[in-house]
Amino acid sequence: MERHVPGPDRDQRILMADLARAYYVDDRSKVDLAAGFGLSRFQVAKLLRSARDHGVVSIQINDPRRPSRDDDLARLLDIERVQVVDVTGTTGQQAGERIGNAVMAALTHTLRPRTTVGISWSRTMDLAARSMPDLPPCTIVQLAGALQVVGSGTLPQVIGTLGSSPEITTLPIHAPLVVDKPSTARDLMRQPEIAEALERADHLDLAVVAVGGWRQGESSVWEKVGAADRAEAAAAGAVGEISGRLFDAAGRVVSTSLDDRLIGVRFDQLARTPQVIAVAHGPGRAEAVVASAHAGFVTHLIVDTTLAEALIELLEPDS
Mark whether 73 and 49 lie in a shared domain. no
pLDDT band for 159, please (50, 70, 90 cuts): low
In a domain, 61, yes or no: no
| 251 conformational bin, left if phi > 0, alpha if psi -120 to 50, beta if neither | left
Mark whether 78 and 39 lie in a shared domain. no
Total domains in the chain come to 2
In a domain, 60, yes or no: no
Give the number of other CB atoms < 10 A from CB of residue 275.
20
Note the pLDDT of residue 3. 42
pLDDT tens digit sequence for 250-285: 999 999 999 999 999 999 999 999 999 999 999 999
Distance CA 118, CA 42 (A): 42
pLDDT tens digit sequence for 36-54: 999 998 899 999 988 887 7
Q: Is the pLDDT of residue 169 over 60?
A: yes
Q: Which residue type sits at 33?
A: L
Note the pLDDT of residue 51. 85
Q: Which residue type sits at 114?
A: R
Mark whether 163 and 21 lie in a shared domain. no
DSSP labels for 142-158? E-B-B---TTS--HHHH
Mark whether 151 and 43 lie in a shared domain. no
CATH of the domain at 36: 1.10.10
- Name the residue range of residue 204's domain: 69-315
Mark whether 38 and 151 lie in a shared domain. no
Average model confidence (pLDDT) across the chain: 87
- Residue pair 225/135 in contact by the 8 Å Cβ criterion: no
- Residue pair 51/57 in contact by the 8 Å Cβ criterion: yes
In a domain, 58, yes or no: no
Cα–chain-centroid distance for residue 51?
20
- Residue pair 285/211 in contact by the 8 Å Cβ criterion: yes
| Strand arrangement of the beta sheet that strand 253-254 belongs to | 212-213, 240-242, 245-247, 253-254
How far, in Å, are 59, 129, 264 from residue 145 at the CA level?
36, 17, 6
Distance CA 268, CA 186 (A): 19
Note the pLDDT of residue 252. 97
pLDDT tens digit sequence for 68-123: 889 999 999 999 999 999 998 888 888 888 888 888 888 878 888 899 999 987 77
pLDDT band for 2, please (50, 70, 90 cuts): very low
Mark whether 40 and 186 lie in a shared domain. no
CATH of the domain at 278: 3.40.50.1360
Is the overall model pTM greater than 0.85, yes or no? Answer: no
In a domain, 59, yes or no: no
What is the Cβ-side half-sphere exposure of residue 93, based on CA atoms within 13 angstroms? 10
Mark whether 16 and 117 lie in a shared domain. no
Distance CA 304, CA 209 (A): 15
The highest-confidence range among 7-11, 18-22, 99-103, 259-263, by mean pLDDT, is 259-263
More confident site: 110 or 154: 110
In a domain, 45, yes or no: yes
